[in-house]
Structure 1
Amino acid sequence: MITFRARSLLLLAIAAFASSASMRICDPLLPEFVQAFGVTEGSASWVISAFSIAYGSLQILYGPAGDRHGKYRVVAIVTTVCAVATLAAALAPTFTWLVIARTAVGASAAAIIPMSMAWIGDSVPYERRQTTLARLLTGQILGVIAGQILGGFFADTFGWRWCFAVLAAVFCTAAALLWRQLVGAPPVPLPDPVHRRTPLAGALAVLKSKRAQCILAIVFLEGMAVYGPFAFVPSYLHTQFHTPLTAAGLIAGTYGLGGLLYSLAVTRLLKRIGERGFALAGGVILGIGFLAYATAPGWAWALPAGALTGLGFYMLHNTLQTHATQMLPERRGTAVSIFVSAFFLGQSAGTAITGPLIGVTGFTAPFVAAALILPCAGLWLAAISSPRTSSPAPRPDHHDRNGQSKQVPA
């Protein structure tokens, strides 16, 4: 029989699936919006930009709320809001309405993954945390893949409104099941003194930690070096090898296959090479993947390059996620929110730097730079990691049904 904790994790993975799908579902729908509302392609892209801006800028606000009121409860609330906002997008009578609805989805979906990570940090002992986070990661990866596939399918068949309607149904189902987990839970206890501090005090406590500073610097560097160049892979394939853009997007999608391979092999690999080995191997594999892009004699090389990049990224990033849940256990929600914000800012900085750099040097230089930077990031993380999967830190808390933490016996 499935345990309460396992069922709770499954529901968080479903919510993460919907959140990730909502992030990518509009990519293939832009021509539909142009035709439906009579706007330009540039204007239509605001459906994506509004979501991304809200998603990235509001992550940090949810950490203190999770620390104070319970991470699981916050996920249930925002998943409900996502269901309503996505349904509003499906019913949008004007383009402005659609952009506002997508902004609301991005603002609420921003909490799902960081608060789920923080809940896992409270509920799962450190030595099992990386494999548990990998299960949540599987929901994210499948969501990214499903979002692009569903968007393309509905664009060619039933239309964009039905696309949002189906996604709203997924959010609604996840929200209903999450709330069911909370039914009958005892009242939320008053927060302890550390949680009664202001959100700013909590954020400053995280930022003063030397270990947290290292983790945040590495994840910013990772986001910049991976997603800056990788965002231009389809353009690279189209420009260098005259690959149609649709095919170029599918080729770049082998990145997701690398992530799925990681989620299937994580338990076995972690036992074999440990946390430090994951950090080192992830950085090196990422370097090999980007070097393959830089030296590719034809588009076919991008297939294994994408898979290697995905595998290496999730080995490195999942190790960083595990460290993030232990940066400051007493302010875990705040710490994880800052971690996700640093990663998102790194992605934004990477894209902003890589675009102009390509205009000056071409595509090769950014790929080579990533191939040099990412192994260094892996080496840095390995230097502060345990050679095993255990942690000297205090044993983590377990969450009860209302999302608050309580100590459980070993």
Structure 2
Amino acid sequence: MNESVSRARPAWGAVISMALGVFGLVTAEFLPASLLTPMAADLGITEGMAGQAVTVTAAVALLTSLLISTATRRIDRRHVLLGFSMLLVASNLLVAFAPNLTLLLIGRVLLGMALGGFWTMSIATMMRLVPEDLVPRGLSIMFSGVSAATIAAAPLGSYFGDLFGWREVFLMAAGLGLLALAVQFMTLPRLAPTGLTRLRTLFDVLMRPRIGLGMLAAALVFTGHFAFFTYIRPFLETVTGVGVNGVAVILLGFGVANFLGNYVGGWMVERSLRMTMILMPLLMGTLGVSLVLLESTPATDAALVAIWGLAFGAIPVAWSTWLTRTVPDEAESASGLLVASINLAIATGAAVGGLIFDLGGALNVFAASAAVLLLAALMILVGVKTRTLATA
């Protein structure tokens, strides 16, 4: 195994292994949503208590994203990434065989560590696997694993849970993790640590010119999206007036469009990163306004939701590329800050959206989401700068 991969020769096999890892991690993250009822019944707990499996994963992922670069600063990144895939397998096995809530939550803690750590390392790793001009393409391939998991995890988890049982579904997820681990073992090169990151480095990176503003803008984009996405089902049921099957079809359309958006985003970023960063939240904000103001019909709302999914597919690719170009010397620390910002944004969007929903309904949630996204687009336009690639 070579010490490192030359950036003149893209290591697409390793990139695909990263996408498999992402698919396994996000699938495991989403599974409880479709299996909550049988999990709670089997363990003799309430669904609310079983739902803490999601909460603890997100909390640990946020904490891990801030600490992992410092904790592993002297370890080969190949070994660290393989370790995260091992944690994924161990987490799913522990959940599958958990006799009580305590062991189930311990299993989900392991998943949170794997999620937060893998995401923090992933962007810096991509910078070392492919040439700089191909980083957006590599990131779009990796993030397609997220979209594929978004499409597949909930419906397949529910289907196989009814067919075989919820524990067997987590055993399948463990098998998926083993597949990712095997492919990563075969394709990831040795990646010696490139710096001695300390906790102080996080603060130093955040204090660089315009980095803090960029992180805030990214957090606003993700907050606006998750306020919208968390409450899309009640909107479709109460405003659009579709039933469960209609909701499923519209969400499938969102997922497929989101998958395509990863590749569209990679193509756009290669041509103009700054335009992509501005245009996508501007489009999403406009779609939010349209959902509030236009006459609601199933066909219209399905189209608007699908276009939203396409636009959001480009967001992770764009912001990850911004990070690789803005803080190339401290990509791991900057990734940790970005992952922490996104996790905080997910929690904020869901929590504030819930408060607005209880007070004013789904239309007001979408109006607030649109306002946040339009503010983010304006902030990016005025204050967030991007570095263009040097041309030969």
Q: Same fold (TM over 0.5)?
A: yes
Q: 1:116 to 1:321 in 2, by over 3 A?
A: same
Verify the 8 A CA contact 1:215 1:324 in the aligned structure 2: no
Q: Is the 8 A contact 1:203 1:334 kept in 2?
A: yes
Q: Which AA in structure 2 matches 1:139?
A: G
Matches within 5 A, 1:5-404: 5-65=11-71, 67-181=73-187, 185=190, 195-196=195-196, 199-245=198-244, 247-266=246-265, 268-270=267-269, 274-295=272-293, 296-383=295-382, 384-386=384-386, 390-391=388-389
Q: Do the aligned partners of residues 329 and 70 (structure 1) sit closer, same or farther apart at CA in structure 2, a change above 3 Å counting?
A: farther
- Which letter maps to 2:19? A
SS in structure 2 at match of 1:278:
helix
Amino acid in structure 2 at the alignment position of 1:81? L
Give structure 1 regions of 4+ aligned residues with deviation exceeding 6 angstroms.
none
Contact 1:285–1:311 (8 Å) recurs in 2: no
> Shift of the alpha carbon at 1:379?
4.2
Shift of 1:152: 1.1
| 1:76-127 residue CA offsets vs partner (Å, 9 max, x unmatched) | 1111111122112112222332222122222222222331112112343433
Q: CA deviation at 1:325?
A: 2.2
Could you tell me which amino acid in structure 1 is paired with residue 40 of structure 2?
V
**2: CA distance between counterparts of 1:268 and 1:163?**
35
Task: Please tell me whether the aligned partners of residues 143 and 316 of structure 2 are also in contact (alpha carbons under 8 angstroms).
Answer: no
- Counterpart Cα distance in 2 of 1:202 and 1:13: 28
Q: Are residues 174 and 102 of structure 1, via their aligned partners in 2, closer, same or farther at CA, if it must alter by over 3 Å?
A: same
Q: Can you give the 5+ residue segments of structure 2 that lack an aligned partner in the other structure?
A: 1-8
Shift of 1:67: 4.9
What is the number of equivalent residue pairs in this alignment? 382
Work out whether residues 265 and 313 of structure 2, in 8 Å CA contact, stay in contact via their aligned partners in 1: no
Shift of 1:319: 1.3
Does the 8 Å contact 1:283/1:379 carry over to 2? no
TM-score, structure 2 length as denominator?
0.88
SS of 1:92 mapped into structure 2:
coil
Deviations 1:390-409 (A, max 9, x none): 336xx9xxxxxxxxxxxxxx
Aligned to 2:4: none
Specify every segment of 5 or more residues in structure 1 that has no aligned partner in the other structure, as ranges: 396-409
- State whether residues 72 and 116 of structure 1, in contact with CA within 8 Å, keep that contact through their aligned partners in structure 2: no
Question: What value does the CA root-mean-square deviation take over the aligned residues?
Answer: 2.6
Give, in whole Å, the separation in 2 of the partners of 1:361 and 1:348.
Answer: 20
